[in-house]
């Protein structure tokens, strides 16, 4: 009984009193948690210190001007590392000025009247952005003018350098953890021998350890720096922890070693968010230098042709099928006027002088940049076949690939084209040279109009040239080709119309008019052009000359004229050599292999065989179109997608990122996909997209289908990533999806209103009718009679 009462007495508090064994377990558990806590802090500290003290971990380094609190500028040596920006007075002796903690900073471009490029690092809440001590334990930095505590205003020497710094800072701000681990691993793999003498670090070189600090400048080991800088009071949660810290020092060191070991294992472990770099051997398309090329002569002589009597009869037979103003896109043309190559091939004539675009991408002055773009544009016209020739109309699904090698920059310009539609005939193309900083895309709708004695081939569409490091787009149109003398006179080909080249970002534009020869004009009036280069509405320069020979430019203010472009023999010899795909590696639908029989017949001057082979290709295309129509199938494009809102065609694997010399190694092409070989593993970023499937849209329809992800190598995954980023940046598509959602909501509201009205009608039909006008005319008459009777009775009995 006493035992039971005793148990009842303590029953209410027995849950609060634990046994000695359970108390010991909780204490040990707490010690383990605190030990793990200290180990994790030391691991993170060691990781950060490795990036600061390791001379091999450098994102970028160069001289920059920094504005002090007295609004004067000081030139300082800036070293960007993952998560921090170290500032020194000189790069040699390492006189430390300060360390900016980037994880607390925001970055923004700052307008300035002075030369160069200005940007600002700042804390949004106006707190300090500086670390307390330097990389070697310095408590006080070198003496310079006072610098602001919550922000830094920085100026680079040029716009390209400034934007390069901003890109690197954005990378260090948002991906500091990834950079730390990746670059530390890179530093361990490569034995970098530092030099005491450092040289200027190029922005495009992004040099690392051997241009920075020698090993003597960083004498402290990691544990010493940890004790001096990062041992804060938060390590000890209470007094007992601080007292017992010495007892656990050895075990902590062992734990730290294990943590380091496990961390290195984790970094080497394969993860779904990364893609391993592909092996050194790159599987790319084999290109061979073009053996023969026809340039043509300047002037009207190379653009005229005397038609034989046999061919005249073919023309008369053709003219009986057409009428003035008719579109000739569906008319089968005789083979004697065909140039033995495809229209997709002809569109590549503009890139034999792509090195002009490489120079323009490096040009700092926006006006000079526009002039170089106009010069490149004019350089694509002097290459022309002899006589009046028209290239083949591409077959639906036909593709063409080629490239040019730039010997000065050791880069390649790739050209990819595909016939994405046959009726109407639309050709899409994409040009890329990421290393030199430009790409170009567009689509051309070819139209032909017959006017009796003449016809015009109209190239409806536009090209968009983009300078990747600047984010500038130059939109340009094309002239039309005019052929006259079909019925009588000499058949002559000319270029006509007005083209525009505009850059919305800089405000510069150019207008070029291609003039047709007047009726009574002389030889000098053939192939004439005139143009203007403008900033807004202000005319800065005038262009005059001939599109196949010399063009002069006249400054509007000074009146000074000089040669702007002249395709002399020396210039033609310096044109970039073109390389085409090896014939054995070409697909059956690539231009050279597809038209090989027709081309061979034309070169052999066998018009009958050429006509027959051309008919075989065209008939096969018609048969394929009929089969797709019977099956209800839609044609699927191989390399291009069509924007559902704007209708523009975009290359599926477009990569518009600026070239990163630290990570990007080489750009190459395989099976129509332009890719980049990279050094480091690249994070895979996936972005959810809203998919809209209209009722009339088939599953595999060209322009709306999503290409399958390519998991073969890192460059392929990058292409998929960049394709997603390109689609996200197109706000027109987002607006289209939003508009579709709004329309769907409106339709739902209308359905709800109709349902409500139907319910009201049903309720009203089931309920008995209510006569709100219960007093009719007869009732009023009866009441009136009663009133009159009452008046009569009152009168009689009065």
Q: Compare 251 and 360 and report the one with higher pLDDT.
A: 360
Q: Which of 166-170, 213-217, 671-675 has the lowest mean pLDDT?
A: 213-217
Does residue 450 have a pLDDT over 90? Answer: no
Q: Give the model's pLDDT for residue 400.
A: 96
678 contact partners, CB below 8 Å, separation of at least 6: 277, 663, 664, 665, 714, 715, 718
**Cα distance between residue 733 and residue 712, in whole Å:** 29
Report the length, in residues, of the chain: 798
State the sign of the Cα–Cα–Cα–Cα dihedral 594, 595, 596, 598.
positive
- Rounded Cα distance between 382 and 633, Å, is 43
Which residues sit opposite 444 in a β-bridge? 427, 461
Mean pLDDT computed over 28-42: 80
CA separation for the pair 703, 644 (Å, rounded): 7
Most confident of 101-105, 250-254, 682-686, 764-768: 101-105
Lowest mean pLDDT among 230-239, 386-395, 418-427, 598-607: 230-239
pLDDT at 262: 38
429-to-343, 442, 457, 494, 718 alpha-carbon distances in Å: 11, 6, 19, 24, 20
Span of 138-152, 161-175, 559-573, 715-729 with lowest mean pLDDT: 715-729
End-to-end CA gap in the chain: 113
> Strand, helix or coil at 792?
helix
User: How many Cα neighbours within 13 Å face the side chain of 342?
Assistant: 26
> Position of tokens 């030369």?
115
The rounded distance, in Å, linking the Cα atoms of 569 and 571 is: 5
pLDDT, tens digit, for every residue of 284-328?
A: 999 999 877 776 666 666 666 665 555 555 565 555 566 555 555
pLDDT of residue 543: 96
- Select the more confidently predicted residue: 156 or 489: 156
CA torsion sign, 56 to 57 to 59 to 60? negative
CB neighbour list of residue 2: distance below 8 Å, 6 or more residues apart: none
| Of 113 and 376, the one with more pLDDT | 376
Measure the CA–CA gap between 702 and 634, rounded to whole angstroms.
7
Question: How far apart, in Å, are the Cα atoms of 738 and each of 60, 218, 643, 650, 723?
Answer: 41, 57, 15, 21, 21
Q: Does position 389 have pLDDT exceeding 70, yes or no?
A: yes
**Residue 474 to residues 54, 183, 360, 442, 462, Cα–Cα distance (Å):** 43, 37, 12, 12, 10
Structure tokens at 449: 């109009």
Pairwise pLDDT comparison (552 vs 755), residue with the higher score: 552
**Which pLDDT tens digit goes with each residue over 170-180?**
887 766 555 54
**Structure tokens that stand for 772 in this block:** 């709100």
Q: Give the residues across from 472 on adjacent strands.
A: 467
- In this prediction, residue 344 carries a pLDDT of 94
Q: Are the C-beta atoms of residues 173 and 166 closer than 8 Å to each other?
A: no
Spatial distance between the Cα atoms of 783 and 499, rounded to a whole number of angstroms: 91
pLDDT, tens digit (0-9, with 9 covering 90-100), for 657-673: 999 888 889 999 999 99
Please give the pLDDT value at position 594.
Answer: 93
d(CA 159, CA 114): 12
Query: What is the model's pLDDT at position 668?
Result: 94
Give the DSSP letter of residue 335: G
Tell which residue, 167, 208, 255, has the closest CA to residue 657: 167
φ/ψ of 288, rounded to 5, equals -120, 145
Pairing of β 438-450 and β 472-476: unpaired
- Backbone phi, psi, residue 395, to 5°: -80, 145
pTM of the model: 0.55
CA distance 275 to 683: 7
**Tokens describing residue 219:** 């004498």
- C-alpha R_g of the chain: 39
- Type and span of the H or E element at 563: strand 561-565
Give the domains, in start order, of the chain with CATH numbers. Answer: 57-180 (2.30.29.30), 287-631 (2.40.160.120)
- pLDDT(10) > 80: no
What is the dihedral angle through the alpha carbons of 440, 435, 714, 709, rounded to the nearest 10 degrees?
Answer: 0
Highest-confidence segment of 309-318, 559-568, 769-778? 559-568
Residue 798: the pLDDT is 62
**Among 314-318, 610-614, 761-765, whose mean pLDDT is lowest?**
314-318
| Counts of helices then strands in the chain (DSSP H, E) | 18, 31
pLDDT tens sequence across 397-417 = 999 999 999 999 999 999 999
- Give the pLDDT band (50/70/90) at residue 391: confident
Contact 103, 131 (CB under 8 A): no
Q: What is the mean pLDDT of residues 497-518?
A: 93
């Amino acid at each position: 009984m006493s035992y039971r009462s005793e148990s009842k007495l303590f029953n209410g508090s027995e849950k609060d009193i634990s046994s000695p064994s359970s108390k010991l377990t909780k204490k040990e558990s707490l010690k383990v948690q605190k030990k793990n806590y200290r180990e994790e802090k030391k691991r993170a500290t060691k990781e950060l210190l490795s990036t600061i003290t390791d001379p091999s971990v450098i994102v970028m380094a160069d001289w920059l001007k920094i504005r002090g609190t007295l609004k004067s500028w000081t030139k300082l040596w800036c070293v960007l590392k993952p998560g921090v920006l170290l500032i020194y007075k000189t790069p040699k002796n390492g006189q430390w000025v300060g360390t900016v903690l980037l994880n607390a900073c925001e970055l923004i471009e700052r307008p300035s009247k002075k030369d160069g490029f200005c940007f600002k690092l700042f804390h949004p809440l106006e707190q300090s952005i500086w670390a307390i001590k330097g990389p070697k334990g310095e408590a006080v930095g070198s003496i310079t003018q006072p610098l602001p505590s919550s922000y830094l205003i920085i100026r680079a020497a040029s716009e390209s350098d400034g934007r390069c710094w901003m890109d690197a800072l954005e990378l260090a701000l948002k991906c500091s953890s990834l950079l730390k681990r990746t670059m530390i691993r890179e530093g361990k793999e490569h034995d970098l021998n530092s030099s005491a003498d450092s040289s200027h670090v190029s922005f495009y070189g992004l040099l690392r350890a051997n241009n920075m600090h020698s090993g003597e400048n960083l004498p402290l080991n990691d544990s010493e720096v940890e004790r001096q800088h990062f041992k804060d009071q938060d390590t000890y949660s209470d007094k007992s922890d601080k007292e017992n810290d010495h007892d656990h020092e050895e075990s902590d060191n062992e734990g730290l070693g294990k943590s380091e070991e496990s961390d290195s294992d984790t970094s080497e472990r394969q993860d779904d968010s990364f893609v391993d770099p592909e092996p050194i051997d790159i599987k790319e398309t084999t290109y061979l230098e073009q053996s023969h090329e026809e340039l043509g002569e300047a002037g009207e002589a190379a653009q005229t042709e005397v038609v034989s009597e046999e061919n005249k009869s073919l023309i008369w037979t053709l003219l009986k099928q057409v009428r003035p103003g008719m579109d000739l896109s569906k008319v089968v043309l005789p083979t004697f006027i065909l140039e033995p190559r495809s229209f997709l091939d002809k569109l590549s004539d503009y890139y034999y002088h792509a090195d002009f675009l490489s120079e323009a991408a490096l040009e700092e002055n926006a006006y000079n940049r526009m002039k170089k773009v106009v010069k490149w544009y004019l350089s694509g016209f002097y290459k022309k076949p002899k006589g009046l020739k028209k290239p083949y109309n591409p077959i639906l699904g036909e593709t063409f690939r080629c490239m040019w090698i730039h010997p000065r920059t050791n880069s390649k310009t790739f050209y990819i084209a595909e016939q994405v539609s046959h009726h109407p005939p639309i050709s899409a193309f994409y040009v890329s040279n990421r290393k030199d900083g430009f790409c170009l895309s567009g689509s051309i709708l070819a139209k032909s109009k017959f006017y009796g004695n003449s016809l015009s081939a109209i190239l409806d569409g536009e090209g968009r040239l983009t300078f990747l490091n600047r984010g500038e787009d130059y939109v340009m149109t094309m002239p039309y080709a005019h052929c006259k003398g079909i019925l009588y006179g000499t058949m002559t080909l000319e270029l006509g119309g007005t083209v525009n080249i505009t850059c919305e970002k800089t405000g510069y534009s150019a207008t070029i008019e291609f003039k047709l020869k007047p009726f009574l004009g002389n030889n000098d009036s053939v192939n004439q052009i005139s143009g203007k280069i403008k900033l807004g509405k202000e005319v800065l320069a005038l262009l005059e000359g001939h599109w196949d020979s010399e063009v002069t430019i006249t400054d509007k203010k000074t009146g000074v004229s000089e040669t702007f472009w002249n395709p002399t023999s020396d210039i033609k010899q310096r044109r970039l050599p073109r390389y085409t795909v090896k014939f054995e590696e070409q697909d059956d639908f690539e231009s050279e292999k597809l038209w090989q029989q027709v081309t061979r017949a034309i070169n052999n001057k066998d018009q009958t065989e050429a006509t027959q082979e051309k008919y075989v290709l065209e008939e096969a295309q018609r048969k394929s179109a009929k089969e797709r129509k019977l099956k209800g199938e839609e044609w699927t494009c191989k390399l291009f997608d069509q924007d559902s809102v704007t209708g523009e065609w975009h290359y599926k694997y477009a990569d518009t990122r600026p070239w990163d010399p630290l990570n990007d190694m080489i750009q190459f092409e395989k099976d129509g996909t332009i890719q980049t070989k990279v050094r480091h593993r690249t994070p895979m970023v996936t972005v959810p997209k809203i998919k809209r499937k209209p009722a009339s849209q088939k599953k595999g329809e060209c322009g709306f289908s999503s290409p399958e992800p390519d998991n073969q190598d890192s460059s392929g995954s990058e292409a998929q990533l960049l394709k997603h980023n390109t689609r996200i940046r197109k706000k027109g598509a987002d607006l289209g999806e939003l508009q579709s959602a709004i329309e769907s909501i409106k339709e739902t509201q209308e359905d709800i209103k109709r349902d409500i009205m139907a319910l009201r009608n049903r309720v009203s039909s089931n309920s008995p009718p209510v006569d709100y006008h219960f007093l009719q005319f007869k009732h009023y008459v009866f009441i009136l009679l009663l009133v009159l009777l009452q008046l009569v009775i009152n009168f009689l009995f009065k």
